[in-house]
Structures are given as C-alpha cells and as structure tokens.
Structure 1
Amino acid sequence: MKRTLLSLLICFAGFTLVSFAQTVRIQQPDRAPQTMYAVDVLKKALVKQGYTVQEKSAEYLINLTLNKAKAVPELYSIARQGRTLTVAGGDAKGVIYGSLSLVEDLRNGVSLQHIKPRSEQPNLPFRAIKFNLPWDTYRHSYALDLHKETSRDLRFWEAFLDMMAENRFNALTLWNLHPFSFMIRPTNFPEACPFNDRELADWQAFYRGLFRMAKERGIDTYIVNWNIFVSPEFAKAHQVALDNLDHKIHATGDTSEIIRRYTRESVTQVLNEYPDLTGIGFTHGEGMWGMTPQQRQDWFTETILEGMRLANRKAKLIHRVPLSANLALGGSTSVDTEQLTRKAMEKLDFLDGPIWTEIKFNWSHAFSSPRLIKVHGGKLNDTYFKPEPKNYKIAWMARNEDFFCLRWGVPNFIREHIATNTQSYVGGYFVGSECYIPAVDYFTKPGQQVDWTYAFQRQWLFYKLWGRLLYNPATPDAVFTAEFARRYGKGVENLLEASALAGTTPLRLASSFDFTWDFTLYSEGFMALNKNSMDYISVDRQISQPAADPNYVSVLNYVSTLSSGGSFDPAKVTPVKLANQLEQDCKKALALVKDVNTDKNTSLRYEVADIKAWANLGLYFAEKLRGAVALQTYRLKGAETRKEEAVKHLQQALAYWDEVIAITRPLYTDMPLVHYSESNDALRFHWEKLRPDVAKDVEIARKATVMTARKD
C-alpha cells in the first residue's frame, strides 16, 4: 500500500513538473496582420502538442522579431538561448515562415527543448499558384462549373491559403475571362455590372475577404484576364462585341473606343477599391483574333497599363508574353515579336517592383522534361534574356494538364527543373492547371472516410514539393518523409521513394510523345488529341508519334534506323531503354509499398493505391513500347515470331491495364474531366472505359501485315 501511494506521488510530482515545463509565452514585435497570423498558427500548434500558452512569465519564451540587421525579404532564422527561442524574419513574411518551420517541428513531435537552430532564405522571389476561377471560365464545362459554390466559400480559401503559406508559396494568381464585372460597378458604365446592389456587395465581400486573408499570410494576389472581353450586359447596352456574348476564347478582338475606355477605367477603379489586391496580369492571346502583335501591345498600353498608371497607388504586373506572332491564336513565335514585347516592357516605370514575365514552360505540359523544349507557339529565342533585363524577371508557367486524379510527387524532377531553369534573369514559377480546378473532390467515391475535404488536399505532396523546393531547393527528402509519418504513423517510410519512382510514368510518356496545347496529351489517361477529340493512344499512334524531348527516340525512328543498319548515341533514350527503365522503377515502387498496411486508414489506402496505379501504368507502358517495337519491326522485316512477340507484349500490357482498373474502380468515380467532356458534359473518364481500346492494340498486332516494299 505504501509502495503504491509513493508511486502515485512520484507520478503526480512528475506531471506537475512536466506541466510547468510546458508553459510558453510568445513575444511579438508588433500587431501587424502577418505577425498576428504567425502568432495564431504557433498557438494552435503549441496547444495541440500539450503546451499551455500564457501572457505572463512561462518556462519557455518564443520571441518573434524582425531582423533589422539582415532585412532580406522572406529570410528567417531560429536561434536558441537557454529556454528562449528567437524566430527572426528578414521581413513580415520571414516571421511567418520561421513560425511555420517551428510549427512543422512541433507537428512532427519535436519538443521545444529539442528545436534546432536553422535559417533559410528564398531561392526565388516569385512562387505562384495559378488558379482558374469557375465563373466566366476560360473553357465551358460542367467539370469547371461544379466548383462555383465551393470557390465562393471563404472557408475553402482559408484552407487553401493556409496550405500555400505552409508550403512557402507567396503569390495567388486568379484567372478568368473578364473579372471586372464581378468586382465593381464601373462609375461611368454601371450597366456593365450584371448584379443588383446586394449581389454585388456579396461579390465584393468575397473578394475583399480573400485578398485580406492572403495578405495576412504574406501572399500577394493578382487578377489575370484574357482579352478582349466585356460583360454581355455591356455589349448589349453599347452594341459592341455582339459576336461573342457567350465568351468564346477564339474570338475577334473588338477594339472600339468605348471598350478601350471601359477597360481602362475598370482597371483603375478595381485597384482603387481593392487596396489589398497586389496586382494585375494580362494575356496577349484569346479574344484578339485578327490583331497583329503591335496592335495587341498597343491595346494593353492604352487600356490595362494606362489604367494601372492612373490608379491612386502602385501595383505589380504579370505580363504574359505573346502567344502568337501572327494574326491567328494557334501559337507561333518570332524574334520580331519578342523584340517588340521586350521594348514595351522596358518602357514601364510606374509599377511596383519587377514585372513578372510569364512564359509557358514546354507549352501546356511542364510535366515532361526539365529541359526547355518549346513554349506556347514553338521555339523560344534568347531575346528576353540577352542582354539581361533590368525591370522584369521571367516566371515559368509549369502547367499541369497531365494528371488530375492520381497523386504525384517526384522531388528530384522538381529539383532538376529548378536547377536547370533558374538563371539570373528568372524570378520564379507559376504552378497550376488550365483544365482543372482543385476545389471540389469529384474523384473520390462517396461514403469514404477520408481526411480531406477539398481536392487540393488530396494532392498535398504535389503542393508541398513545389512550394518548399521553389523556396529552398536544398530542402531534404526527410522533410517530406516526415510528413508522410505525421499523417499515417509508422510503416510508411518508403512512400516518398515509391511515389518518386512510380511518378516518373507520366513524365516519361510526355517526354516520348510530342505535344502542344492542353488537349494534345493527357498522360494520366494515356490519351491524346486525335483530330477533334481526346482518344486513347493506340499502339499505332505510339509508333508514329515523334518524341517531344530530343533526347528521346520515337518507335518509328528507332525501328527504321536499326533496320537500315544505323545506331544511336548511348545517351539517347530509345524505346527499349525507356521500357527497361519503366519496368525497373515501377517494380521497385510496387515492392516498396507491398507490405504497407492500409486496412485501418482509408486515406492511406488512397495514397498507396495511387502509387500502385502509376506503377502499373508504367509497366503497361513498358510492355506497350516493347510491343510497338516488335510490331513495327515485323511490318518492316517480316518473321512471324516478331508478330507473336508483339501480341505477347500487348497482351501483357492489357493485363497491367486491368490491374489499374482493379486498383482504381473501388476508389474512384467516373470523372467529369474537361479534357474528356468539354464538348459533351455527359462524358466521363475512368480507365475502365478505355479497356476496349487497350484490347484493340492486341488485335492490331494480330492483324498486322508486312509492308510492301516501294517500287521506284
């Protein structure tokens, strides 16, 4: 009895000491919105880990401060002196990032007494998310419209902005065709706004709330539009732009003087009425059919740029480079157009900070090669870089039109991308999609008990990798592995490596399959544009399609070269070498997740299933390439054994495709993807729907015949 009582007293005493040792006071330099946000996230993390935050003296002191001696934007450091932790920021954003770094340790179970000193500063000053708004959308589709309610909810944006801050993204760019009529009632053109006073007040409260929350988190905000568009109400009232009331993107530009004036005044009024809005962006492209590059540049100079100059404050600018060097909008480049655009940008001296000059990296498919192959329109010359610009910085647009459903994360691809493309004239990156809005989760089957609410939360690794590595490319894999462990506990140490291995599948497809605009390739579905529709990439299409990356060799080139006695540089990625790489990496990925127990965690089940899906798609692709080589060789040189080999490989490819179906069918609904359903909202995507097309590859091989030699 005495021993039991003594044990209880010891336990109680220990509890008292631990309890006292866990009191924390946070000292802050000011009450700026960014500081208050940093304090709030720290408090929440401390309380969740069992600490007591109090205003008076405590066992630990966390001192938030501004480093006036080293006022580097977004820099932070964490230092320790006894039980005082000093989080110093080069500016207010630095204070936020230092606090979030401390929060990350706390979430990972690191106690305050074990926090290690550190410091970081940004590698790139511009780290942006591209987010297409679902009202007045670039394309018209149910897959975009279904996000309207969620994207008007500030609770969604609070979660999204928290994610951005946590991952060190510092710019949110909001894109739609004509944003002004949702934000203001133009003073001299009130008829342009389609809303009554109450409706407009709701819209304005939404935008003001969004911009305010972003500013609190150290995130700049931009509205970006395509040109030239006006509201249908304005068009009807003034009998202008009547040929494009439904806002088709490929439309003739109406440059009527009244539209010029309306656009200019709207820009000025928006900047004046929304002081928390950081800047504006514009596009040399849609809605400007039939205009020369000079006419397009003149339009911007006289409307958007002049409107910015007339505002009562300075604002920042996103200046997209021209998408076309001729009268059409399909895409083209020329030195003359680049010189024209550069000259126009260099004249601008009334803006806040450098102009962010957006260029699409590898057109719409940045998830291909880390090497710059093409931009929108074709080859990019060095006009924008030489001599080095003084008032603008290049910002690469890393467009993702290749995977929307399956989770993706390949850290070394992003590291290589950044290392290869961040010359001194580069200021940063945009990351995002044109054909996908990460708001409503329309993938997950209903009734699943998962730990996410919104679509972007499913792709947490995608955002964490891009944001953290853009901020600091030296961020180790251990940071991302620790996040897996925090979310799912023990036994998930291999998930990052498995994700990185399996996630090479879409990158390798896009490097080996030439592309241009959005719908020309959808890697996740192994689909590509075929005349006017998105179709499965047949084995014949795989054979004939040129490679996008010059380091890759197409099947057609490979077989014809070898058949004529030629050879390839060992550094080239031939179809056979690619197939072997895919098989090696994807089988290793499957082995790494083989023993992960997902029985008690549905969210983890999805993580592992997506790795397995990518891996099996990679194995399918490997067998398809082998089958394609054998099939094309048979067509050129004959021998029934080659045909049999082709059939065998394509049958195995079908077996791997069936495995993808078996993995994904219990988890995913048929999906209303824009790629698949823009012309018909009733269409839905799932790998199972493509199975008949995959099976046709086998029949194509079985029915193949030897090509008849040409007679000169």
Structure 2
Amino acid sequence: MKQLLLLLITYVGFTSTAVAQRVHIQTPDTSPQTTYAANRLKKALQERRYTLTSPADYTIRLTLDAGKLGKEAYTLAPEGKTIRITGGDPAGLIYGCLSLAEDLRNGVSLPQIKAKSENPTLPFRAIKYDLPWDTYRHSYALDQHIETCRDVAYWERFLDMMVENRFNVLSLWNLHPYTFMIRPTNFPEATPFNENEMKEWQTLHRAIFRMARERGIDTYLVPFNIFVSPEFAKAHNVAMNNLEHHHFVDGDTSAIVRRYTRECVTQVLQEYPELTGFGLTLGEGMGGMTPQQREDWMKATIIEGMRQAGRKSKLIHRIPFSSTTGSLGVTSVETEKLTRKSIEAEGDLAFLEGPVWADLKYNWSHAHSTPKLVKVHGGKLYDTYFKPTPTKYKIVWTARNEDFFCLRWGVPEFIREHISTNNQPYLGGYILGSETYIPAKDYFTKTTQPVDWTYAFERQWLFYKLWGRLLYNPATPDAIFKAEFIRRYGPAGSTLLEASALAGKTPLRLASSYDFTWDFSLYSEGFMALQDKNVKYISVDRQISHPPLDPDYVSVADYVKTVSLGGSFAANKITPLVLADRLEQDCRKALSLVAPIKTAGNASLMYEVADVKAWANLGLYFAEKLRGAVALQTYRTTGGEINKQKAITHLEKALRNWDEVVAITRPIYHDMPLVHFSEQQGNTRAQNDKLRFHWAILRPEVAKDVEIARQAVK
C-alpha cells in the first residue's frame, strides 16, 4: 500500500503543472552549443509552465570552467534562488542542462533540485550508422529507408536522441560516399547527379554535420575500400568487375583510382569543415592484397588526402580482420604487429588530433551475447594491441547488434557488466550499431492507433538510453530509467524496467549458448542461424549439436555425453538444464510483473508490454526446447522410452510457447524484410527482396521439432 501511494505521489509530480514562477537563463556566450543547451532547458521549463523573463524569481546561470572540470563533465549547484550549471566544455554544459531538463520533466520543481556532478567514464561513445545509399549489402530491407534518411527532420530527432543519451560520435558508413557529397574537381564525371540533385545531397550532409556540431557530437565518414562510382569506372575503364559494388572483390589499385580516392578525401574535408574526421576499414574491396598492401593503400589515399586538406581532423582505424590476401581471413600475431605499427605512426601525424581510435568488433557481429570477450572478427585476439599499454591510440569496441530489430530490448546489468569487464586503461569507448538494420523507417508497427513515436529508433528508446547513459556514467542508477517509464506511462510503467531486464536476457542467453561468427550466422530474435549457406530456424537437432560461444556454457551433446558416463560439471558451468531453469524463472517473473498492466487506450504502452511478453514467451519456449533436447539426446544415447516421451512433452510445450509469441505479435507486427535473407543461395535479388520474417512464418519449422522427437530412434 505504501509503495502504491508513493507511485501515485510521484505520478502527480509528473503530471501536475508547476507553480507559475519567472525564470531567467544567463549564458556565457552565443556559441551554437551554448544556444542549443539553453534552448533545451527553455523548452523543459516552458513545459512545466515556468515563465522565461527578466527580472525573475529564479536565475539559471550557465558557465564554462575548463580549469576545474574536464571535457564533457558538468556540475549542477543550487544556490538559493540561483542554479549554476557549469560545464568543463560546451558538451559538458549541454549535458548539465539536459540533466536539469530531465529532472523538470520528471516532476522535480526548481526548489527541489539537488546538487550533482558527472564525469564521462569513456571519452568515445559512438553510433555506427550505415547510410541506405550504396549500402554494404544490397537489399530492399535497407533501400526502404532512403526517403526517411534524406529528410533533415529525421536527423534532427536522431541527433537529439544521441545527445540526450550522451552519445558523442556519429560514424556514417557507406561503400563509396564521395559522389553523394561532392563533384570531384578533377573527376566531375564520377558524380551521377545534376546540379539541383547535387545541391540537395550537399544540403543534407551539411545539415547533419552542423546539427551534430551544435550538440557536441563528432562526425566521422567511414568509406569502404576500394570502391569507385560506376560512372567513374566506365569513364576510365577501371574496376569494371564491380559496377554493382559487391563487397568481397579484388581491389583495383591503379594509379588513377589512387589519385581519385585521395582527392575525394581532401575535397570532402575542405567542403565540409564541420566533418570531424574519417575512418579506415580494411578488407572489403581489397581482395588479393596483403595486410601490408592494404595499410600502404590507406596511407597513400585516405591518410594522405587528410593531410592535403590543410586542416586538423580525427581518425578511426578499424583493426583488419584478415591476415591473408582474401577478404575473409583469420587473425594473426603478425598482422596485429603490422597494424599496431601503422596506428602508432598515425598517432604521430601533426594533422591528426589524437588519440587514434583503434576499432575492434566485440565477439564478432554479436556483442549482445556474453560480456566476456571470446573472439573478434576473424577469430582469436592476441595481446599485441594492449601490451605495452598504447599511448598513441585507444581501443574502441564495436558492439554490433544483428540480433534484435523488432522487439524492444533493455538489460542494464548486462551493459554495466560489459563496461566493467572491459574498462582497462587502453579502452577509449564503444561503437554501437548494426550493419543489417537501419533505425529509420518504422516498417514494423501494424496498429492504426496513435503511438508516441515516428521513427524506428524511437521505438527502441530504452536500448539507446541504456547504452548511451551507461557508457557516459556506468553508475547511472536504474531509477533514472525507471523514471522515464513512469514519465511516459504513469504508474503502469513502474515495473516495466525490471520486466524488460528479466525478459531481455533471452537473446543474450541464446547467443551465449550458440556459437557464431559473422552477421547472418545468428539472428537471436528469430531463433535462426546460418546453416547450409542459408539462414534457417534453429532446429532441436541443431541446438543439440552446436557448440556454445561462452566457455562457461555446456552444449546439449556434451552435457548428455558427460552425464551418461557418470561425469559432472564444475559449479560455474551453465548446463542446458540450469539454463532452462534460469530462463523459466526470469521469464515467468517478467510475465507476472506486466500481467496487471492495463493497456486499453494506450497503444504505445501496449507495445511495451507486448514486447516483454514476446521475449518472455520466447524464453519459456527456449527453456522447454533445451529440456526437450536433453531428453531427446539422452534417449538417442542410452535409450529409455520415458526419455523419448519427456522429449515429446517438452517440445510440445515449447511449441505452445511459440504459438503464444505468434498470438502476441501477429496482430501488431507486419511481416518484416530482413537483410538476413538478401543472400539466400540460388535466389535472385528480386526473390530475396520478397522474403519476410515473422514468428508465424516459422511455426511449421518449430512444429517439426516435435516430429523429430516422435520419430527418434536409439
């Protein structure tokens, strides 16, 4: 009863209007960053019915003090009728104003504001954004975002989200971005657009970079290499084998391609002074080249182009994932030594602002698995980049998400553990994002009722808020995230953070128990994985035989083999049955937390609750599937009709849980195009573009698990 009363009082604080009081905001200058900070604060004050005027009852004084505070740090200090917000730099001032604005939105009045201060734990907190024109992979699933991503209003909302969540880097990835940004002075034939079309592209890019700068967000352009525009290729008879821009091809290193690339880099930096820097990615379009040749190419083109731009810029150097001449290869100590030498040399270049950000993929393409580092792209990571501790560069981990695009996700304890596990002195930060999903057009939502979002990234607000705020300050309490639920949904939102955290462990546990490599090798949201060169449902047989990623997890096959021989496992080992019990415990609790929530008349809340229910039922399905897999493998190994019947029973229960997922999601989600289907073997591009994902579509495959058990023999 006391908890309910407290929630009601809190909710009244959210919804009641403030006592009409006059407020004046004093600013130290009129820079774009200060103006943005003050405007965000003004908006929050006006929403709370404060009057902005002078003289005033309250004064909010914005100041800068680089001597006392570091970069991006801030303090918020109430002093009687004055609240002083001090930033160590313009970004820190923005964060301080956003912190006060957050308190105001959460129902805290100016007299109730408490002193606080924050300092960034990690200096590099980035979003990986694959632009939908000239994409890494070609698919309708990516093409559908072009119109949205050409709208400046979309980018304003996206950048607002970034700064609210303390992301400070936007990295824009594209196979060959130059011809969408410039008409190369010496190669005008490379750009396919007329003057009006070129002006539209340039207006878009300038707006993105300008708005990012206003928000204290750095911007990096990350082109893949080696690519040229089809128009350039035809005009000069180069790279004619790759007019369609496939990413795994041999590189054309002819002199004219080298000159063209270098001049494009220089011209882009000169025409876009608000662009912060470039990124190097070594591999795609560089088949047939040794690691040394790839490094030499980057030095002669992008690095030299940056030097000739005549201004300072910054650099992301993606760690190469191939030690061979193939586009896909394996890691090696020799390649690590070569790469470290190159990065350290870049760190000494006067035209580059340090440190260089050395980027590695955390657990390949699926960081949402275990917080332990098991592998990087290409396989094993040695210690070359860490010992001795680097001084010219900082490591940044790319946390790729190729595992959930539709269902909302948020597990704060996982992110905190991820950061604490990897917060060594050489760590600079994280890059968060996908390569097979663009968070722009909402192609999921089926309801005709009004919802409180427009764009896809706004559906996943908790995902971005958790990662961004915790990368900035891992000590950010859950109360901050819980308060956001309550602000959005009132008392009904009070249990949603806990429910999300419990149900959201489902994809993490699947990815920890099922080993993977590149993008398509696992799609946790759909319980699909790469098999026979196609992405397929993970059958019970596949679950039995496939090894885990996390070394603490035990596969079904190894578990049954060990137990059948009378063996046992150490206490830290997570066996299939232990995993099943944990899944069931967490998912049933998540369902109990959302069961009382009434969603009638609030479609946005309905979707939040539905996604928790979907994840929870997927977790219960997974638990029963694991139990069924153990029983089935036990029957095949040692016999016993009771084991066969247990397998059938558990897999029938798993099917019922899957049916519950279908019942939840079929009315509210469209069948979804996925890039995972864009490389189905034997299909044309047109055929692949018609392929769709929904849990209902996979239902016959799930039912086959039951038949597999029924037809099993010892």
TM-score under structure 2 length normalisation: 0.95
Paired with 1:381 and 1:399, the residues of 2 have a C-alpha distance of 20
Distance 1:541 1:452 in 2: 38
Greater mean alpha carbon deviation, residues 292-301 or residues 328-337? 328-337
CA distance in structure 1 between the aligned counterparts of 2:482 and 2:706, rounded to whole angstroms: 41
Cα distance per residue 1:109-148 (max 9 Å; x no partner): 1111111110001000000000100000000000000000
Name which of structure 1's ranges 439-448 and 115-124 shifts more when overlaid on structure 2. 439-448
| Counterpart position of 1:43 | 42
Larger deviation, residues 519-528 vs 441-450 = 441-450
1:695 corresponds to? 703
Tell me the CA shift for residue 210 of structure 1: 0.6
Question: Within 2, Cα distance between the matches of 1:164 and 1:492?
Answer: 23
Measured against aligned partners, the alpha-carbon deviations of 1:563-622 in whole angstroms (never above 9, x if no partner) come to: 122211111000010000000000000011110111121100000000000000000000
Alpha-carbon shift at residue 402 of structure 1 (Å): 0.3
Match for residue 228 of structure 2 among 227, 230, 240: 230
Q: Distance in 1 between matches of 2:18 and 2:481?
A: 31
Return the offset for 1:423.
Answer: 0.5
**3-state SS in 1 of match to 2:376:** coil
Partner Cα distance (2:624, 2:327) in 1:
38
Deviation of 1:90 (Å): 0.2
Note if contact 1:292-1:327 (Cα within 8 Å) is conserved in structure 2. Answer: yes
Q: Output the amino acid matched with 2:145.
A: H
Contact 1:140–1:678, Cα closer than 8 Å, also in 2: no
In 1: Cα distance, 2:19 partner to 2:116 partner = 27
Alignment of 1:134-153 (within 5 A): 134-153=132-151
Give the Cα separation in 2 of the matches to 1:580 and 1:71. Answer: 48
1:117 aligns with 2:129: no
Which residue of 2 is the match for residue 556 of structure 1?
557
Equivalent residue number for residue 713 of structure 2: 705
Which position in structure 1 is the counterpart of 2:506? 505
- The 5-angstrom pairing of residues 161-560 of structure 1 reads 161-348=159-346, 349-350=349-350, 351-560=352-561
Give the match's secondary structure for 1:381.
Answer: coil
**Structure 1 residue 68 displacement after superposition:** 3.8
CA distance in 2 between partners of 1:500 and 1:236 (Å): 53
**Corresponding position of 1:634:** 635
Task: Report if aligned partners of 2:20, 2:51 keep a CA contact under 8 Å in 1.
Answer: no
CA contact (8 A) 1:65 1:95 kept: yes
Q: What per-residue deviation string (whole Å, max 9, x for no partner) do you get for residues 372-392 of structure 1?
A: 000000000000010111111
Q: How far does residue 71 in structure 1 lie from its aligned partner after superposition?
A: 3.8
Opposite residue 691 of structure 1, the aligned amino acid is: R
Contact 2:283/2:328 (CA < 8 Å) preserved in 1? no
Contact 1:501 1:586 in 2 (8 A): yes
| Partner in structure 2 of residue 5 of structure 1 | none
- What corresponds to 2:6 in structure 1? none
1:134 alignment partner AA: P
| Aligned residue type for 2:377 | H
SS at match of 1:493: helix
> Where does structure 1 lack aligned partners over 5 or more consecutive residues?
1-17, 707-712
Partner-residue secondary structure (3-state), 1:229? coil
1:674 is matched by which residue type in structure 2?
Answer: V
Distance of 1:99 and 1:200 partners within structure 2: 37
C-alpha distance in 1 between matches for 2:19 and 2:547: 68
> 2:138–2:678: 8 Å Cα contact kept in structure 1?
no
Alpha-carbon shift at residue 20 of structure 1 (Å):
8.4
Deviations 1:475-517 (A, max 9, x none): 0000000000000111221110000000000000000000000
SS of equivalent residue, structure 2 residue 690 = coil
2:3 aligns to what? Answer: none
**What's the secondary structure of 1:319's corresponding residue?**
strand
Equivalent in the alignment of 2:126: 128
Q: Distance in 2 between matches of 1:534 and 1:62?
A: 56
What is the alpha-carbon distance in structure 2 between the residues aligned to residue 271 and residue 557 of structure 1? 55
Cα offsets for 1:435-467 (capped at 9, x unmatched): 000000000005231110000000000000000
Q: Residue type of the partner of 1:464?
A: K
Q: Distance in 2 between matches of 1:418 and 1:94?
A: 21
Q: 2:20 touches 2:49 (CA, 8 Å); kept in 1?
A: no
Per the TM alignment, residue 196 of structure 1 is displaced from its structure 2 partner at its CA by 1.2
Q: Secondary structure at the match of 1:412?
A: helix
Q: Per the alignment, do residues 20 and 485 of structure 1 end up closer, same or farther by CA in structure 2, a change over 3 Å counting?
A: closer
Shifted more, 657-666 versus 441-450: the winner is 441-450
Given that residues 21 and 60 in structure 1 are in contact (C-alpha distance below 8 angstroms), is that contact kept between their aligned partners in structure 2?
no
User: Deviations along 1:406-441, whole A, 9 cap, x unmatched?
Assistant: 000000000000000110001000000000000000
Residue 677 of structure 1: how far off its partner (Å) = 4.2
Corresponding residue for residue 683 of structure 2: none
Distance 1:454 1:19, change over 3 A: closer
Question: What is the deviation of 1:268?
Answer: 0.8
Secondary structure at the aligned position of 1:688 is classed as coil
Letter in 1 for 2:506: T
The two structures have a TM-score, normalised by structure 1, of 0.96
Secondary structure of the equivalent of 1:492?
Answer: helix
Larger CA Rg, structure 1 vs 2: 1
Q: What's the CA shift for 1:354?
A: 0.6
CA distance in 1, matches of 2:45, 2:342: 51
Pick which of 620-629 and 443-452 moved more: 443-452
Separation in 1, partners of 2:663, 2:20: 52
Residue 330 of structure 1: how far off its partner (Å): 2.1
Alpha-carbon distance in 2 for matches of 1:193, 1:201:
12
For 2:67 and 2:520, locate their aligned partners in 1 and report how far apart those are by CA, in whole Å: 51
Displacement, 1:675?
Answer: 1.2
Residue 32 of structure 1 is matched in structure 2 by 31
SS of the counterpart of 2:696? helix
Partner of residue 8, structure 1: none
Q: Is the CA contact 1:586–1:616 (under 8 Å) kept in the aligned structure 2?
A: yes
CA contact (8 A) 1:395 1:427 kept: yes
Work out whether residues 368 and 399 of structure 2, in 8 Å CA contact, stay in contact via their aligned partners in 1: yes
Q: Is the 8 A contact 1:20 1:59 kept in 2?
A: no
Other-structure match for 1:654: 655
**Separation (CA, whole Å) in 1 of partners of 2:41 and 2:568:** 61
Percent of aligned positions that are identical: 68
| Contact in 1 for aligned 2:19/2:49 (Cα 8 Å) | no
Give me the whole-angstrom Cα distance separating, in 2, the residues matched to 1:364 and 1:410.
Answer: 19
Q: CA deviation at 1:312?
A: 1.4
Cα distance in structure 2, aligned partners of 1:624 and 1:69? 59
The more displaced of 439-448 and 298-307 is: 439-448
Q: Which residue of 2 aligns with 1:12?
A: none
> Using the alignment, how far apart are the partners of 2:43 and 2:699 within structure 1?
49
Counterpart code for 2:630 = V
Deviation at 1:300, TM superposition (A): 0.4
Quick one: structure 1 residues 666 and 343, their matched pair in 2 at CA, closer, same or farther if it must change by over 3 Å?
Answer: same
Structure 1: which 4+ aligned runs deviate by more than 6 Å?
none
Cα gap change, 1:109 to 1:248, in 2 (>3 Å) = same
Q: Indicate conservation of the 8 Å contact 2:321/2:377, yes or no.
A: yes
Q: Give how far 1:678 is off.
A: 4.7
2:601 corresponds in structure 1 to: 600
Distance 2:327 2:565 in 1: 41
Preserved contact between residue 131 and residue 433 of structure 1 (Cα < 8 Å): yes
- Tell me the alpha carbon deviations over residues 227-268 of structure 1, each in whole angstroms, 9 at most, x when there is no partner: 100000110010000000000011110100100011111111
Amino acid corresponding to residue 297 of structure 2 in structure 1: W
Count of aligned positions:
688
| Secondary structure class of the residue paired with 2:520 | helix
Distance 2:333 2:465 in 1: 37
The answer as to whether partners of 1:677 and 1:684 remain within 8 angstroms in 2 is no
Query: Counterparts of 1:572-587 in structure 2 under 5 Å?
Result: 572-587=573-588
